[in-house]
Structure 1
């Protein structure tokens, strides 16, 4: 066997393979490093921006990073003469079959993307989800599930599709909230004096917005009480603290001025018949 003849015959093939291998390896390494760099950049930019929920950062980072890596792998395959069109077609058919089998899961993914893109809720916000009547603080918005910590400390995990298809009441999105407190007063009590006392209580309470100005008025006549409404605005993050403080002080101040807690009163009439 003439080694020189074989060398001259296969040298160009070996040379092309080595060149393609080295170029493919270089593309793979550079592309992988670029994907990591872009992933870290996305994380830094996202954490500096208030417009993006930080719970969505891992998902966005993963999607971008793996999109770049898949593109790099396809480029590497072309370096070895592999036709990627047939491979992409096969992957597309496999993806369609998997998508049909996992239709519910894909709905959760789509809903998760919409929740992150449109941001009706964010981590740390107090919300109520109409589906199931779930109320609490949003802990995490994942690719498949949304986690909510209820006010009693119990964690509830809800599929994203259920959250997206429900009516969402967000108590934290606006900076301020209106508060209406109903104060019952017995018939016969001095309403002007009661309103004066309530005005003093409101004026002494902290964290109440000056604009719109708080209003106190008689709003309703019920069976055994007159209802006085206190309407004011306060910051959303201290809403319940202000509410609890006012409920306590209102009752204390009214009782100090001899306004007793109204008790529903019913008058019953007994009819007796005379028998001969």
Structure 2
């Protein structure tokens, strides 16, 4: 071993410090991940604290530990923490200009966690991009689409966009529209819809289900049903009730017409 160090000559201290720095970086990365993961689990285990807080706090702790590891690594190469602070202070303007997008994301992350326009597990639309919130950390928001595609939205863009939160309220209104033929009985069709809605336990009695003729289209009379339900039941109720109404229309002789045109000839 001594022979190896002698062969390295003047580079021996640099190699030794480099090896130490590599070990510190690896251990620091492992510790940062372990501590942030432990904090996330502890916070999320408390029912009084929202999961979004746990995710955000874990992200902050991880980056703070990594910053401390970086300072320790620089110290191995003879760069003191006070010197590092002085250098960073002198370069604040340059760094701010170079990383203004990142700093904007960081500031937006604190605004998102402060005002909470969305939380983990909620289905949202952020500036036209929709998905379930899987993560919210210092720099970005991670969404997962219904077909399991990951979308990463920088926090700066998320905070500056229009946010539609479909999961914010516990209840939602379901609107269903059906077109029937002009020759069919509209009252009969409306009663079929109302009866099916009344028999479905997921549809609220208050507010009372609402069924009306809402439009006279080119080829159909349009009926709209407005029903209230739990947000968690929204999609299943929409799909199943649409199918049930279609089958009930078929059994009751109510026609859902195809678009068509009527030609009228007049004698000259």
TM range (shorter): 0.7 to 0.9
The residue that corresponds to 1:263 in the other structure is 258
1:222 aligns with 2:217: yes
Q: Say yes or no: does 1:161 pair with 2:156.
A: yes
* Equivalent in the alignment of 1:202: 197
Deviation larger for 235-244 or 140-149 = 140-149
1:44-64 deviation digits (Å, cap 9, x = unpaired): 356413445132131244477
CA distance in 2 between partners of 1:272 and 1:217 (Å):
39
TM-score by length of 2: 0.72
Equivalent residue for 2:55?
A: 55
2:109–2:138 Cα contact (<8 Å) kept: yes
- The equivalent of 1:44 in structure 2 is 42
2:87 is the counterpart of 1:111: no
- Report 1:146-157 matches (<5 A): 146-157=141-152
Q: Distance in 2 between matches of 1:101 and 1:182?
A: 53
How far residue 105 of structure 1 moved from its aligned partner, in angstroms, is 1.1
Q: Aligned partners of 1:97, 1:202: CA distance in 2, in Å?
A: 63
Larger radius of gyration: 1
Structure 2 stretches lacking a partner, 5+ long:
1-33, 73-79
Equivalent residues of 1:42, 1:61 under 8 A apart: no
Aligned mates of 1:229, 1:42 — CA distance in 2:
46
User: Counterpart of 2:166?
Assistant: 171
Give, in whole Å, the separation in 2 of the partners of 1:94 and 1:258: 78
Asked if structure 1 preserves the Cα contact closer than 8 Å seen for 2:184 and 2:255, the reply is: no
State the TM-score, normalized to the length of structure 1: 0.70
Q: Deviations along 1:127-171, whole A, 9 cap, x unmatched?
A: 1122xx211111111222221111222111121111111101110
Against the structure 1 CA distance between its residues 188 and 213, is the aligned structure 2 distance closer, same or farther, given a 3 Å change threshold?
Answer: same
Q: CA RMSD in A?
A: 3.1
Find the aligned partners of 2:177 and 2:97 in 1 and give their Cα distance. Answer: 54
Q: CA deviation at 1:241?
A: 0.5
Q: Distance in 2 between matches of 1:178 and 1:260?
A: 26
Report how far residue 91 of structure 1 moved.
3.9
Corresponding residue for 2:96? 99
Q: Equivalent residue for 2:179?
A: 184
TM-superposed CA distance for 1:99, in Å, is: 2.1
Q: For residue 184 of structure 2, give the secondary structure of its aligned residue in structure 1.
A: coil
**Residue 252 of structure 1: how far off its partner (Å):** 0.3
Alpha-carbon deviation of 1:255?
0.7
Instruction: Single out whichever of 200-209 and 226-235 deviates more from structure 2.
Output: 200-209
Residue 93 of structure 1 and its aligned partner are, at CA, apart by: 2.7
Which consecutive residues of structure 1, in runs of 5 or more, have no partner in the other structure? 1-35, 74-81
Structure 2 distance, partners of 1:111, 1:102, is: 14
